[in-house]
Amino acid sequence: MQSIESKILYNDMLAEGYFRLGLEWKTPRVKAGHFVMLRVSDGMDPLLRRPFGVYKVIGAKGSASKGTGIELLYRVVGRGTSILSAKRPGEVLGILGPLGNGFPSPRKGLKVVMVTGGMGIVPLYMLASQTGGILLFGARTKKERFLLDGFKGPGLKVKTATEDGSMGTKGLVTALLEKELAAGVVVYACGPLGMLKAVSRMCSDAGVRCFVSLERSMACGIGVCLGCAVRSVNHDGKENRNYKMVCSDGPVFDGEDIDWELL
């Protein structure tokens, strides 16, 4: 983990309200699923850093290698991201990271199925680039199709579902997952909480290992403030009083370890 001041390389609008941000940073090894905490203002408003998943490493031969910077994708949803969207190349942002535990590498011989909804696609870019497999992408409409631009990997196949039927299958992305669950499959997922709950339940019922990347509000990003606690499951049948921090114990968890009823 490092805390540095990083120069902005680019901050380009991809679509209305969506941006890609390049930051100069000779990073340590970054793994799919890692995130960083950004300080978006030099003043007191906003006071706290904001968490952003790492989309990819830039200026490197491989996405898991040391590079000259990182790229983040973000959507403007509040004051912090609104301030960030106005930043220009050459300006400096404070970075803390890389943080958290990323996606575990799949065991040899397993078929990789990635499930995502909307901006949940961010932490899956590096995973798809390294492992290939099948990417199941869900969105409200085809207007979010641009989030798939640049996705590539060894033999990667992409299947889509939209709620209005304007792209791919009409309905939820979980309908696509039903057709992929079988022995020899491992599932990686990131997206809205309702989707993650459904994916985890489906995988559990099918006896398929599932890893999920959770999103929670974070103040510190290193497990000190305890603001991102989630209740975990005891597998020994005893009453559960255990909590895990999304920032330091996650953000990637085995889906079987999360008490979904209390999220």
- Confidence band (pLDDT; 50, 70, 90) for 67? low
List the one residue out of 208, 160, 161, 213 whose CA is nearest residue 181: 208
Which class would CATH give 2-99?
mainly beta
* Per-domain residue ranges of the chain: 2-99, 111-262
Q: Where are the beta strands (DSSP E) in 191-242?
A: 209-213, 229-231
Whole-number pLDDT of residue 117: 95
**Residues composing the chain:** 263
Which class would CATH give 111-262?
alpha beta
Mean pLDDT of the chain: 91
| pTM passes above 0.95 | no
Query: What is the three-class DSSP state of 74?
Result: strand
pLDDT digits (tens, 9 = 90+) for 182-223: 999 999 999 999 999 999 999 999 999 999 999 988 889 999
Whole-number pLDDT of residue 188: 98
- Confidence band (pLDDT; 50, 70, 90) for 72? very high
- Top mean-pLDDT range of 27-31, 60-64, 202-206: 202-206
Q: Would you say the CATH fold of 111-262 matches that of 2-99? A: no
For the cut 50, the answer to whether the pLDDT of residue 62 exceeds it is: no
Question: 125 vs 49, 103, 121, CA distance in Å?
Answer: 24, 12, 7
> CA torsion angle for 232, 64, 56, 125 (degrees, to 10)?
-60
